[in-house]
């Protein structure tokens, strides 16, 4: 290999992206009976979906298995070389197989075909050669072939691995939609990190409750309401009716607007100054949904009401920040 200075990295990148985008676009014309058959086989699978492939196809297979597993289709990757040396024991007749090979002739994968047929496990092949050994032996073949690789030598798997990856995503999403897979289902396989928090954390997990909830009755003078706001540290207080139910709120924003008026803070009841039409949340609401409401209405807190309309707490933007949601 000789060292030659490159004068145009950008043009190379643009050519690569264009070639791979065109290769992916060509896949839409290949979605037909075999794709439907593949989805039906995977939906009918009573075991696990086993994904296998060698080399770069194996790396793509690992990602496809991970995507399937996280979207409602239990799956894992089995290395075809290791399968020939004991790991075939990981595969049962209840499983379905997704086998990747651009040529469709890679020895490590083709060697497994008689064993898989003997088990009776359905095989779905992703290859670039519909006439290959793997494609012809499969119960369903998905053509991921490309005219040329993005690699200028037409050697390094580039466009072909991209099309295989996209076809795997197409299978996973088709199955997800058919199963009626929900965000709550997704949360069970993604409990960690920010994503897990957004999908699992509920308002009741982070809201301020009990005596720490700022509250005054409607007859309370503004001066005492300000003390309640200061003591509870949320920049607002709830205002309740005589029966203890929510009548409105008074916030630091309401206070700024009140300063323009010449009022007696010791004698003016908070009911005459409070905001009504209060935005609320339910304890069972996802914390991420509470954040969306705050952002949509440009506010920093929500009163939390249960199904009977009783005040159960306050959720503030700072609670969401501390929880890693905002």
Residue pLDDT, tens place only, 109-145: 999 999 999 999 999 999 999 999 999 999 999 999 9
Q: Which residues lie closer than 8 Å to 249 by C-beta, 6 or more apart?
A: 236, 237, 238, 239, 274, 275, 278, 303
Among the listed residues 308, 90, 290, the one whose alpha carbon sits nearest the alpha carbon of residue 198: 290
Tell me the DSSP string of 213-242. S-EEETT-BHHHHHHHHHHHTSSEEEEE-T
- According to DSSP, residue 189 is labeled T
How confident is the model at residue 191, as a pLDDT?
74
Task: Give 246's strand partners.
Answer: 240
> What's the predicted TM-score (pTM) here?
0.71
Dihedral over Cα of 41, 47, 49, 55: its sign = negative
What residues does each domain of the chain span? Answer: 9-181, 203-323
Sheet holding 236-240, edge to edge: 215-217, 236-240, 246-251
Fold for domain 203-323?
Answer: CBS-domain (3.10.580)
Residue 135: per-residue pLDDT: 97
Among candidates 102, 6, 130, 115, which has minimal Cα distance to 50? 115
The pLDDT of residue 89: 94
pLDDT at res. 7:
63
Q: Please report the pLDDT score of residue 192 as a whole number.
A: 72
Block mean pLDDT (10 aa), the chain, length 326? 66 95 97 98 97 97 97 96 94 97 97 95 97 97 96 93 98 96 78 74 93 94 93 93 92 86 88 92 92 93 93 94 83
DSSP run (H or E) holding 301: strand 301-305
**pLDDT tens per residue across span 262-297:** 888 899 999 999 999 899 999 999 888 999 999 999
Q: Which fold has domain 9-181?
A: Rossmann fold (3.40.50)
126: nearest Cα among 67, 23, 73, 51: 51
């Amino acid at each position: 290999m000789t060292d030659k200075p490159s004068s145009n990295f950008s043009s190379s990148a643009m050519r690569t992206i264009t070639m791979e985008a065109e290769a992916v676009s060509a896949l839409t014309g290949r979605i037909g009976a075999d794709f439907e058959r593949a989805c039906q086989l995977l939906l009918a699978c009573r075991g696990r979906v086993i994904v296998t492939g060698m080399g770069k196809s194996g790396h793509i297979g690992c990602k496809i298995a991970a995507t399937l597993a996280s979207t409602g289709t239990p799956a894992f990757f089995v290395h075809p070389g290791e399968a020939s040396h004991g790991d075939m024991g990981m595969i049962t007749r209840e499983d379905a197989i997704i086998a990747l090979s651009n040529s469709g002739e890679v020895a490590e994968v083709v060697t497994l075909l008689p064993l898989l047929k003997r088990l009776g496990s359905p095989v779905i092949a992703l290859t670039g050669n519909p006439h290959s050994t793997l494609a012809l032996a499969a119960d369903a073949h998905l053509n991921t072939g490309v005219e040329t690789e993005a690699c200028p030598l037409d050697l390094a798997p580039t466009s072909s691995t991209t099309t295989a990856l996209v076809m795997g995503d197409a299978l996973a999403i088709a199955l997800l939609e058919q199963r009626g897979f929900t965000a709550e289902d997704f949360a069970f396989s993604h409990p960690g990190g920010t994503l897990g928090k957004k999908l699992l954390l509920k308002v009741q997990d982070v809201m301020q409750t009990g005596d720490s909830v700022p509250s005054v009755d409607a007859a309370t003078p503004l001066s005492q309401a300000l003390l309640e706001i200061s003591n509870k540290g949320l920049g607002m207080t709830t205002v309740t009716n005589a029966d203890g139910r929510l009548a409105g709120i008074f916030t630091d924003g309401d206070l700024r607007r009140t300063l323009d008026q010449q009022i007696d803070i010791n004698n003016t009841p908070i009911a005459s100054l409070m905001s009504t039409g209060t935005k609320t949340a339910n304890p069972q609401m996802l914390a991420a949904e509470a954040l969306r409401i705050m952002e949509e209405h440009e506010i920093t807190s929500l009163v939390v009401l249960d199904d009977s309309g009783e005040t159960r707490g306050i959720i503030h933007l700072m609670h969401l920040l501390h929880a890693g949601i905002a």
